[in-house]
């Protein structure tokens, strides 16, 4: 029974990010607006697609290598997710500040960036604690 639950958990690591990826792809396709001389699209969906692909890769690793130690793979997924999420959000925040946008409109990017950097810092500390053991 526990093997089935473990396999179901591993498949969820593939299924949920896949759904997020497909949804982000559809929303990105809908956000493309063409105009004379080029096009414009919402890049936020590309970031969500990249993060979901990272977690799909982790889920595939769990299914393909069931007996391996997954700490390093999980840590790599969390570090890359935190870095992309944190630095992209902080970049949008500082870009908005440089363009003199209203703070209440861009503060969500500050908070999201701080959460991403906190995830990144925590996972680095966790890596060094595990390395000591």
- Burial group, residue 37, by CB count within 10 angstroms (0-12, 13-18, 19+): exposed
Task: Give the list of residues 6+ apart from residue 88 with CB closer than 8 angstroms, or none.
Answer: 47, 113, 116
Structure tokens at 57: 């890769």
- Please name the residue that has the structure tokens 């966790």: 126
Residue 72 has phi, psi (to 5 degrees) of -65, -40
- Kindly list the domain boundaries of the chain, sorted by start residue: 1-60, 69-133
125: its two tokens: 């500390």
Note the pLDDT tens digit of each residue in 36-89: 777 778 888 899 999 999 999 888 888 888 777 788 888 889 999 999 999 999
Q: 1 falls in which pLDDT band (50, 70, 90)? A: low
Global pTM reads 0.79
Mean pLDDT across the chain: 87
């Amino acid at each position: 029974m526990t093997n089935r639950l473990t396999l179901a958990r591993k498949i969820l690591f593939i299924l949920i990010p896949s759904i997020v990826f497909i949804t982000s792809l559809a929303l990105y396709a809908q956000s493309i607006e063409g105009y004379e001389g080029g096009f414009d699209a919402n890049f936020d969906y590309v970031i969500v697609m990249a993060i979901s692909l990272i977690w799909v890769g982790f889920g595939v690793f769990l299914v393909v290598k069931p007996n391996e130690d997954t700490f390093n793979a999980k840590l790599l997924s969390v570090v890359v997710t935190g870095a992309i999420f944190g630095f992209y959000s902080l970049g949008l925040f500082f870009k908005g500040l440089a363009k003199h946008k209203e703070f209440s409109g861009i503060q969500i990017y500050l908070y999201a960036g701080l959460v991403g950097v906190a995830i990144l810092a925590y996972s680095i500390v966790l890596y060094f604690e595990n390395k000591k053991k």
